[in-house]
Chains A and B, each alone.
Chain A
Amino acid sequence: QSVLTQPPSASGTPGQRVTISCSGSSSNIGSNTVNWYQQLPGTAPKLLIYSNNQRPSGVPDRFSGSKSGTSASLAISGLQSEDEADYYCAAWDDSLNVYVVFGGGTKLTVL
């Protein structure tokens, strides 16, 4: 059971906009920034969004992030087949004995 809660799956058709949610608590998302990662099949995770809504160089602006209270969201617009992957959120957690927490991951299927 992950500390951050994500839907296990999401789907969309090419060109659509999809959102993936990440729910936490006051000790993690509520008081710290959120990162999002994309993991293509058989590969290592790749940073997609940092500090809630910042894109690293090279990440298309089709990907955007937001945060409100103890929840965060990743939005993907103009969905493409190559976006089919697992997506994870992550945040620092201020609770005792817990430092970095990840969401359980969301498998995105492009129909």
Chain B
Amino acid sequence: EVQLVESGGGLVQPGGSLRLSCAASGFTFSSYWMSWVRQAPGKGLEWVANIKQDGSEKYYVDSVKGRFTISRDNAKNSLYLQMNSLRAEDTAVYYCARTTIPDYWGQGTLVTVSS
């Protein structure tokens, strides 16, 4: 059974940093593109970033370029999202998802950016 479990969310002040993690199991992690998708409170889904199987290609939505970094550790079956210079508009539930157009999703982790 495919499982994706996010962690690392929480309350952070504007300008602060946070690192999200996603532990994957139930499939061959190193064979799949992986993605982060977010959902602001009461709003729709927004793709944030994705990363190729070997980490050699990474893509980001314009609003996070230069602030967020997606990475992965295939030996640990883990996906990460380093978020710096956080803004109020980054407040959202962040989902880890398998493949570029997701087929499996984690349960999400809430990031709140507020003073």
Spot the interface stretch: A16-24, A62-70, A99-107.
A99-107
State the total of A-B contacts with C-beta under 8 angstroms: 54
Spot the interface stretch: B68-76, B81-89, B102-110.
B102-110
Question: What residues of chain A lie closer than 8 Å to B46, measured between beta carbons?
Answer: 102
- Smallest CB separation, B59 vs chain A (Å): 5
State the CA gap A5–B37 with chains docked (Å).
18
State the CA gap A92–B99 with chains docked (Å).
11
Question: What residues of chain B lie closer than 8 Å to A43, measured between beta carbons?
Answer: 107
User: Which residues in chain B, 10-31, are within 8 Å of chain A measured between CB atoms?
Assistant: none
Question: What residues of chain B lie closer than 8 Å to A2, measured between beta carbons?
Answer: 44
Number of B interface residues at 8 Å Cβ cutoff, please give it. 20
Is the pair A99, B100 in contact by a Cβ cutoff of 8 Å? yes
Is the pair B101, A92 in contact by a Cβ cutoff of 8 Å? yes
Q: Give the interface size class of chain A.
A: 20 to 34
Contact with B108, one of A44, A102, A105 (Cβ below 8 angstroms): A44
State the CA gap A102–B95 with chains docked (Å).
14
State the CA gap A56–B99 with chains docked (Å).
15
Contact with A56, one of B45, B50, B103 (Cβ below 8 angstroms): B103
Asked whether A90 is an interface residue with its Cβ less than 8 Å from the other chain, the reply is yes
Question: What residues of chain B lie closer than 8 Å to A45, measured between beta carbons?
Answer: 45, 95, 102, 105
17 examples of A-B residue contacts, CB within 8 angstroms: A33-B101, A43-B107, A44-B107, A44-B108, A45-B45, A45-B102, A46-B105, A50-B101, A88-B44, A98-B61, A99-B47, A99-B59, A100-B35, A100-B50, A101-B47, A105-B44, A105-B45
Interface residues of B (CB under 8 A from A): 35, 37, 44-47, 50, 59, 61-62, 95, 100-108
